Structures are given as C-alpha cells and as structure tokens.
Amino acid sequence: MRGWLLFHNDVEDGVPEAAEIRRFIEAGKRRGIKLDALRPSGFELIVSTERDWRAEYAGGKLSRPDFIIPRTGSETSYFTLAVIRQFERMGVPLINGAEAVEACADKLQTLQLLSASGLPIPKTILAKFPVDVDVIERELGFPVVVKKLRSTRGAGVALCQDREQFDDLASLLGDAAHQSDFIFQQYIAKSHGRDVRLLVIGNQVAASMERRSLNGNFKSNISLGGIGECIDPPEEMAQLAIEAAKSLRLDIAGIDILYDEKGFRICEANSSPGFVGLEKACPVSVPDKVFDYVSARINPPEPPRKPLWRRIIPGLRGKERQVEKEKA
C-alpha cells in the first residue's frame, strides 16, 4: 500500500507531532507500506470537470495513493480543508474525512455537535466583547476556564479564579486582534489536574490513559509536565468516547474526558491526536492499530459464502418441511 500523511511542518526534532509522523513512517516501512509526508500548502489545487486522476505537488505530479491520513489538527486552514475535500471527492479513502477534521479544528463547533447528539459537555460561552461578566458569573460561575478556539497541547488555556482576575484577563482579550477566538467554559472541580485520553479507532477504544498534573496545575497535558498511566476505562467512559467519535464522524479520535460529580463529560476531541505519551504509558503501537484499520477498510473481508447445495437448490429445506407436514 501507498499512503500520504498531510502535515504542516518539516519532520524534524523539536517540531510538535513530528515524532508521530516518524512513528507512522517507521511502522509503515516495517509492514511494507510506503508513506510520504506532504505539506498541504505544496499542492496546486486545480478543480475541473476532468475525470482523470491529477495531483500536482511542489512542481511535480503524484500518482494516486491508496489512502490519506490528515495530521493537521487545530492548524487546519481553509486551504488545507480544500485539499482534503479535493482528494476525498476523487475517491481516495481519507482517515479522517474533511467534515470530521473541520469539526475538530474548532473547539466550539466540536462542542456544538456533541451537545446536539445529547452527549455531556462543560457548559460553554463564545466570547463576545465587551464581556458581560454578570452573564459569565451567572451561567458558569468562578473559577472559569478561558480557551482559544484553535489550540493544542494545553496552550492557549487559562483558569480565572475569581471576578477580579477575570476582569483583568477580559480587558487584555478585548485588545486582541481576533476577539471572537475565545470561549469561556465551566470549570469541573472534580477533574482538576486530571483527565483521561481515550484513543478511538474504528469505533473501538484502542488504548486509554489517565493524565495527571504533578504541580497542582489544572491542566494535565503530558507536554506541560503531566504524567500518564494506562488504565482500563469504565464501560460508561469507553462508550462515551465511542459515541463522541461517531457523532463527529471520526475514524481516528483522541477523546479527552473529564471526571464529574455525576459521571463524565467530554472536554475535547482531536482528529490527529498525539500519541507519544500514550505509547509510553500503554503497551500499544498506535500506527499499527491505524494500519490494521486502514487495511480492513480498503480490503474488507469477503462475507461468508453459503454452502454449495444451498446456492444450487435454494429453498430445499423449506420443501422438505412442507413434505413432512403433508405426511403428518
């Protein structure tokens, strides 16, 4: 098989998620799968009524791949989405598709889709400036979480403990160039400094780990110094992650779940989840799990064939039963 990994940056040390790209390439090579890491910005996007395959990249032409895995996450731009849609409409299997990638690139859209499916989420308000602090306090209370709509690895997330601290942050955000790029979210006290990342592949939980902060921070991301421990999630939590992936139409999903007094709530969903920390915590090879899913999707197993006599003489059993009934 041949596949493409769509990635915005060079696959170099120090580049966020470059390690995951290298893991995919190494695992693919071991399995006889050739993978190319391609930048979406390198494509010339040409739309026409021609039916023939066409892909122009960095001044050359590329042959048709067997599958494409977008690894663009929250950095997915309009151009990148257009590239993904182009090849999706040309019939190349996308793991994940454009609709799912777009839904997860915007945290508010993710939450809107999850809530429309009746799944539990923290109550959330889209930032509007000037901020009406009375509305924030009435609907969410304090402390309150402030998030950028497009962020990853715990960046762009802050916790405001009280109204005074919130006023200071709101005045700062009010001067921002993109004022609508923030959401305010209910703080879930029971999950302070811990959450669970569940990796869902093909509507099955492939691995899960509880992440915990070591310094009292309310964020538990491993990239910020947290630790991960492999766990066997409760059935309710696992099913919640699967339902979240289904509602967002994700083939591969990183679902982050918070502990709540009444059970669990979905915090975020990721269409290209990082997994270096997950592989350190759990005995799992994420690329191999993904390739197993891709192989099954591209080459689905044949349905079991009926016995030869049933194909040649359909309804024989029914006729035998009728004869026996008449004799009786």
Convert the pLDDT of each residue in 128-138 to its tens digit.
Answer: 778 888 999 99
DSSP category for residue 46: -
Domains of the chain: 2-96 (3.40.50.20), 123-187 (3.30.1490.20), 191-298 (3.30.470.20)
Mean pLDDT, the chain, whole residue set: 87
DSSP category for residue 222: G
Report how far Cα 70 is from the mean position of its chain's Cα atoms: 11
Assess contact for 190 and 260: CB atoms under 8 A.
yes
What pLDDT is recorded for position 137? 92
CA separation for the pair 44, 60 (Å, rounded): 10
DSSP characters over 86-133: HHHHTT--BSS-HHHHHHHHSHHHHHHHHHHTT-----EEE--SS--H
Convert the pLDDT of each residue in 18-37 to its tens digit.
Answer: 889 999 999 999 999 999 99
What pLDDT is recorded for position 164? 86
φ and ψ at residue 163, rounded to 5 degrees: -65, -40
Assess contact for 99 and 271: CB atoms under 8 A.
no
What pLDDT is recorded for position 175? 59
Assess contact for 77 and 8: CB atoms under 8 A.
no
CA angle (294 as vertex; 237, 32 as ends), nearest 5? 130
